[in-house]
Amino acid sequence: MDDAALLARLQELRQKIDELSYQYYTLDKPTVTDYEYDMMYRELENIEKAHPQWVTPDSPTQRVGSKISGGFAKYTHDRPMLSLGDVFSDDELREFDQRVRSDLGGEALSYVVELKIDGLAVNLIYEHGQFIRGVTRGDGRVGEDITNNVRTIRTIPLRIPSTSPHIEIRGEVYMPVASFMQLNAQRRDDELEPFANPRNAAAGSLRQLDPRITAQRKLAFFAYALGGAEDNTITSQEELLADLQKFHFQVNQEYRTFTNIEDVITFIHSWDDRRDSLPYATDGMVVKVNSFAQQHRLGNTVKIPRWAIAYKFPPEQAKTKVLGISVSLGRTGVLTPAADLKPVRLAGTTVKRATLHNEDFIKEKDIRIGDTVIIQKAGEIIPEVVRPVLADRTGKEQIFVMPKTCPSCGGPVVRVEGEAATRCINPDCPAVIGEKIAHFVSRDAMNIDGLGDAIVQQLLDHHLIQDVGDIYGLRREDLLGLEGFGEKSADNLLKAIETSKSAGLARVLFALGIRFVGAKAGRILAESFGSMEAIMAASTDELTALDDIGPRIADSIAAYFAVPAHGDLIRKLAAYGVVMTAEKRQLLNASFDGEIVVLTGKLQTMTRKEAEQAVELRGGKCTSSVTKKTTLVVIGSDPGSKYDKARTLGTPIITEEEFRDWLQRE
């Protein structure tokens, strides 16, 4: 295929993949199999790899950018991102309506009422249809440039069918409830503090310095507003929402239009018993004057628009009784207490249990067995105990004491000084083994589809497996003897197990459940060492020399591989053919070894991305801003303020021609 035909194929693939992504992520209506999508995506990757000069920022392959160094740059919004005024009662809504009608001289109007998504407001900037920047609200005037992280959100198109030279689309980045639950479960397994609610999780995910972490968090975006725009002909909020859908943005479909405030109030209260069934968190409703002309006439105060208001849902709490406190085990042996509650209806569901986190949490809140307590859903998702009702105490309540032995195996438990966690130290504890296997086969680890908790427990109960290595020794006849397995389901599971062998070193490291080694650390270790043998042989000094691998992680890795049984497990996995190697990142030469480089100005002979990759492949590190730590600044044409700052700090400066000479050094 000649270059012209290949370029045409590239453009065709990009268009197809964009459309398929829209159908899958935004409409939730996939039209092809995952395999067909993956084959098209791989073909596109191969074409771009062979012709890097054809790579453009709006290509589907560019969703995950390079790691951000030195924090996020500030960006001033073309038009301020105002906050909304809040109301908490029907009468306050009626007062808002009276003010609006009075200011408009009694003319006819309509309201658009939308769900208020509990996330993070973001401004998306497009030029001639191409996404160029994503910015947080910040203080409303100046936000943070989070472009690389925004690119990872699949419901945000990288190109829109707009002819405007400049248009800003505003909306809410949020974390779906399912993603939030999955993330917090993983954080608890990794002995990290879980996020309090989906909004905090979304905000923390958007501010990651490594976009690959943001991509794993499965964020989404609802578009609902227009910022600055050139050649804008949209006249109303209702028209805007329709156009945003044509642009392939995800628009929340639960909005309605009304001409009087009583219908608005009725609609808002219709969500009292329905909002808890939504797949995302919402903390209220937003009422907006529909007409943009009327919005303009109503104007804004310094902080809020006069044409919109947010009705905030009151937090729902319930009173119930603590019948007991039970303790469960995680894969690292941590004992987690939970309150067993007298069943009570809360936020649309019946609540029977609430996490109590650890022994310190129970002592700080003085929660006792037999207490009457107030509970609520944290972020309207997770049941939590707010406080005991001291006035209801009878004196018969019992103070909880953490068990001195493991509730599963009866072995000793310990609490290390300075840590909140109490853990079982028996490596053969059946509860711990079950949790470790469940983690090993999970989606973000070895991703063995069909091997859920119930089947894992069956395999353990029938003594078909004792550790994760035994999974790869399962035979068809083993599975056919289990309840619920037929020939097809047995073959499908064995096929999934075989496929998982090629998951790669990074996933294996994460799947092993080494304390503090998450997916990110697994990737760093795999790319840096290239094989499991090299990691096992590495000293703590060699481990901590890597970016983002601190002493705590290094000590945990060393301690894990110092256990003979863990070495035996690695050898068992290798014997079954599990791939435990990765393509090791090789330096072309060491010409930029140890250099912290800033590129500024327009380069003539290469793209900014190519220059950054060239530095990294020679041992250097590129950052976005000039600081005292910067060791070298490379300038192109029109270098701007970074050049001035480098001169002020006395940082070495080289031209593009000199930069190319450096690249050739041995």
Please compute Rg for the chain using Cα positions.
28
Query: Which among 449, 237, 413, 445 has a CA at the least distance from the CA of 337?
Result: 413
**Does residue 303 carry a catalytic annotation?**
no
Beta pairing class for 120-127 and 596-600: unpaired
- Distances in Å between the Cα of 216 and the Cα atoms of 179, 180, 388, 392, 518 are 9, 11, 38, 46, 12
Report which residue type is found at 287.
V
Q: Helices 198-206 and 177-189: crossing angle, nearest 10°?
A: 80
Torsions phi, psi for 383 (to 5 deg): -65, 135
Residues near 331 by beta carbon (within 8 Å), at least 6 away in sequence: 189, 432, 435, 436, 438, 439, 513
Placement of tokens 């398929």 in the chain: 20
Answer whether 322's CB lies under 8 Å from 367's CB.
Answer: yes
Q: Is 14 helix (H, G, I), strand (E, B) or coil?
A: helix
**Active-site entry in 16, 49, 116, 572:** 116
Residues near 160 by beta carbon (within 8 Å), at least 6 away in sequence: 126, 129, 131, 169, 247, 248, 249
Longest dimension (CA), the chain: 86
CA angle 17, 20, 26 (to 5 degrees): 125
Placement of tokens 């550790």 in the chain: 467
Q: Helices 3-21 and 34-50: crossing angle, nearest 10°?
A: 140
- Distances in Å between the Cα of 163 and the Cα atoms of 127, 160, 292 are 9, 9, 21
> Token digits for 93?
């809504």
How far apart are alpha carbons 372 and 397 in whole angstroms?
A: 10
How far apart are alpha carbons 318 and 344 in whole angstroms?
A: 7
How far apart are alpha carbons 36 and 30 in whole angstroms?
A: 11
How far apart are alpha carbons 478 and 124 in whole angstroms?
A: 54
Task: List active site positions.
Answer: 116
